[in-house]
Every structure is written in structure tokens, then in C-alpha cells.
Amino acid sequence: MAKSYQLPENFLWGGAIAAHQAEGYWDADGKGTSIADILTAGSATERRRITDGVVAGENYPNHHGIYFYKTYKEDLELMAEMGFKAFRTSIAWTRIFPNGDDAEPNEAGLQFYDDLFDEMRRLHIEPVITLNHFEMPYHLVTEYGGWTNRKLIDLFENYASTVMERYKDKVTYWIVHNEIANQAAMAMGDTTDQFLIWTNSGLKFPEGTTFAERMPKMFQAGHNELVASARVVINGKKINPNFQIGAMLNCDVMYPASMKPADQLAVQKARQMRDWFSDVHIRGEYPADIEALLARHNWRTDVSEQDFEELKTGTVDYLSMSYYASHVVKAAEGKTPSLDDPTSIEVTDNNTIKASDWGWLIDPEGFRYTLNELNDLYPHLPIMVVENGFGAYDDVVEEDGVKKIHDPYRIAYLREHIRAMEEAIIEDGIPVIGYLSWGPIDIVSAGTGEMKKRYGYIYVDLDDFGEGSGERYKKDSFDWYQKVIQSQGQSL
């Protein structure tokens, strides 16, 4: 019988979504077009792409979310019924500054988030708000070239200050950029899969772009985002010294494929390419390995002395993270893993553990391992888990005239992962302050554009084409998670 644990009363239990996957109403009340609006719909087998030749209403938007823009009150009531202490969502930059460089903010957009945060407060749910979750005004891509342009630092700073000032009494927990490190992995990898580079930085690399062409651009975009983050921290603390402003990193664990030293080196190199983002966010400076790489290739272009001072001052208060799965990494045949050569590091299969229907490896021990590893890297820094969950197909069955969704697979995944987190907190002493599972209500998948990849405790009756009643039903996991929260994590 596994041990049971109880977490402190102030532990932030809840869930997380993102504006572009839930809100819909992509052009309502003055909202501008974002880079998320113009992605293709994708499918389980085809990764989402960037729409070529954008024609509003014709080839975009690809979905209407779950209409959360209008249903948030009913949806939040259900979250409150589960006992949520916190709820993470993002602000769509395009609702506030439709083009990104507008002189004045859009009052209707500001009002929407006022109402949303008021509703959360009324329900005693702490808002955790991401400023940049895979979307920016599309105009900033066509006009400035996305995050490679330093102008974006000022524009983002202005957007962030506007919303932080407006919501200073309603929001305490902020996250600056969602999964900021994704773009590095993709710049190292396959140029045909551009989804994460696009969503993080607004960069689109034409087919055939070389590694040497991609890398300086990726580093420039990342640098600009990090300087913008530092400024957000510096300004945010002036607006409200109680603000808690965090970084957000995809922390899926990486294992070496074998006991060969070269495979261990492959993991280390892959980690260095990911972790420099959190190093800059948290320690305020670039790590030595990345400094050396940048110097070797002369990849650092448009930076200033002042940037480095700001990075040093504007470090974050906490690290938030997503964890879904583990990955296995190895050295390519006959090669020594190196950040100079993306073909020297390969991702490979792991047939020792099961995967989801989308091939994501189910690895709760990896979660405990990751939390420990983060604490080794950044001792004592509070960690908030802001994404973890199981995307699965759900069947609706009629029982005595009532619609039911039995989802034992989701409960099993969450149970094991929450237990692993509790072990990390209680047995290992890791300072985790909250657990916000991903997609507490079904939303559109970011990676595939599907609705049928469902994470929720609450089922939403909409299919991949947006057809359906839009009605919400509780799944079995709804009652289960309610008990988890009620018992402070004891009843799993």
C-alpha cells in the first residue's frame, strides 16, 4: 500500500488553460489577429502549420475554442465546485493591443479580463496569469519580423505594464512567457516542424534554411524575450511589490538511451540548449556553455550593455513548469554530441513504459526526478507546476438518460503524477507551491488543433470542426479531483 501524504492548506490546487485554446471570439470587441489564429487545424497525424496567404474568415481562424469568452462564468463555477484554489489562463495580447503597436489599449479587451478576474476573486480562486502564451499580434510578425526585432521588447513592456497596472489589485501571480525554451529545441531540430518556433517567437523559416541561419535568429528572439521579461519584473515590482512574477519552462525529463558515455553527453547538451533560458530568467546571466557557443559562431548580434544589467536585476520570483512525459536521447552513430551540430543528438524510443494515444510516454517517476533536478539547479526557488495532464479520447455514454464519461485512464495518470509530486515535496523537501493540471475543461489542443485530444475533468460537447452543443458534462475525474483537493492531496 502506497503511503499517503497531506499537503499544506495554502497549496494552490487548480487547473490551467490558455486564451487562444479556449476563448474563441477571435475578432470580437476589437481583438486583432494573433499568430495562434492563423495556424492550420492540423490533425492527430499532421502537426499544425502556419497558414500561407492569410485571408480572414477564409483560411482562418482554424477553431473557435470552447467559447470561454462568453461561458467563463459557468465554467469557473464548475472549477469552484471542484474546490480550485487557483486557475491559470493567459491574456490575449491582441485583445489589449490588437496590432501590438497601437497607441492606446482596447478598452473592451481590458474590461473582459477585469470581469474574468473579478469572477475568479468572487469564487476565491487565485488567478495565475500568463502574459505570452503562444500568441502575439500577427501584425508584429509582418511589420517587425517577430521577436528578432528589439522593438518587440518595448512593445511587450508597454503591453505588460498596461495590464499589470490595470489588474494590480486582482492578480498577484504572473508568468511572463509560456514554455520559452521550446524554440531552441526546434531550431536545433527539424525545419519542417515549425510549430513551436512560430508560437514562441513569430519566426517562420523557409524550407531548407540552414542551422547556421536559424540559430542566430533564435538566439536574438530568445534574448529579446528575456530582456522583455526582465523589464516586466523590474516594472512589475514598482507597480505592486507583492507581485510574484515567474518564468515557465517545459521540463519533460530526458534520459540517456544507454550506459554509453556519449549518450549521457547527448542528454547534457540537449539540457544546456534548454536550460539557458531558465538560467537567464533565474540567475540573471547566460551560462558559460552558451556564452562559448555564441562567441564561437559569432551568433550574438543585436545586444547592449544595458540588456545585461537589466537581466541581472529583473530575475524572476519563481519557476513554473510543465511536465507531461519523458524522452530518450542518444548520440548519433559515430558522432560526439555537440551544440554545433544538431545531427549529433537524436531522440529515440522507450519501450519500457507505456505511452498515450499521441505517443507521449507516461512517466510519473520522471516527474519526481525532474522536480528534484530543478531544485538542484535552482535551490530553494519556489516551483509551481502549471501544466500536467493526460490527453485522451473520451466516450460519452447514456446511463439512465444521463450523459456519463468514465475516464479511469486520466484518473490513473493524474493519481500517479500527483503522488510523485507529493513524494518530491514531502520525502525530498522540494518547494512546490501549487499544482495546476492542464486543461481542467476540454479545450483545443495546441499542438494538433484537435478537440478530441481531451484533458478535462469537464467534457465539452464540441468536435474537431467546432460542431456540437457546446454543453459541459462532468467526467468521473471531476469527482475524483474534487476529493483530492478536499483532502489536500491525501485521497488519491
Asked if residue 379 has a cis previous peptide bond (ω within 30° of 0), the answer is no
CB of residue 464 to ligand BGP, shortest distance in Å: 13
* Rounded-to-5 percentages of helix, strand, coil across the chain: 40, 20, 40
CB of 178 to ligand BGP, least distance (A): 5
DSSP 8-state secondary structure symbol assigned to residue 379: T
Nearer to ligand BGP (CB atom), residue 69 or residue 438: 438
Strands 326-331 and 253-256: parallel
Q: Which CB sits closer to ligand BGP, 75 or 179? A: 179
> If you compute the radius of gyration of the chain from its CA atoms, what whole number of angstroms results?
21
Q: What is the distance between the alpha carbons of residues 154 and 175, in angstroms, rounded to a whole number?
A: 18
- Shortest spacing between CB 171 and ligand BGP, in angstroms: 19
Binding region for ligand BGP (CB under 6 A): 18, 178-179, 322, 387, 391, 438, 445-448, 453
Closest to ligand BGP by CB, 130 vs 149, is: 130
Q: How far is the CB of 374 from ligand BGP (least distance, A)?
A: 17
Quote the cell numbers at residue 61.
481562424
CA distance 446 to 174: 21
Measured from the CB atom, the residue of 322 and 326 that comes closer to ligand BGP is 322
Which is closer to ligand BGP, CB of 357 or CB of 428? 357
Contacts for 66 with CB less than 8 Å, ≥ 6 apart: 22, 24, 75, 441, 442, 443, 444, 460, 462, 470
Q: Which residue is nearest to ligand BGP (CB)?
A: 447
Query: Which residue has 562567441 as its cell numbers?
Result: 295
Copy the grid coordinates of residue 471.
454543453
Torsion of CA 168, 170, 173, 179, to 10 degrees: -90
Nearest distance from C-beta of residue 453 to ligand BGP, angstroms: 5
Question: Could you say which of 23, 179, 310, 422 is catalytic?
Answer: 179
Annotated active-site residue in 157, 346, 387, 416: 387
104 labelled catalytic: no
467 is catalytic: no
C-alpha cell belonging to residue 279:
538560467
Where in the sequence numbering do the catalytic residues fall?
179, 387
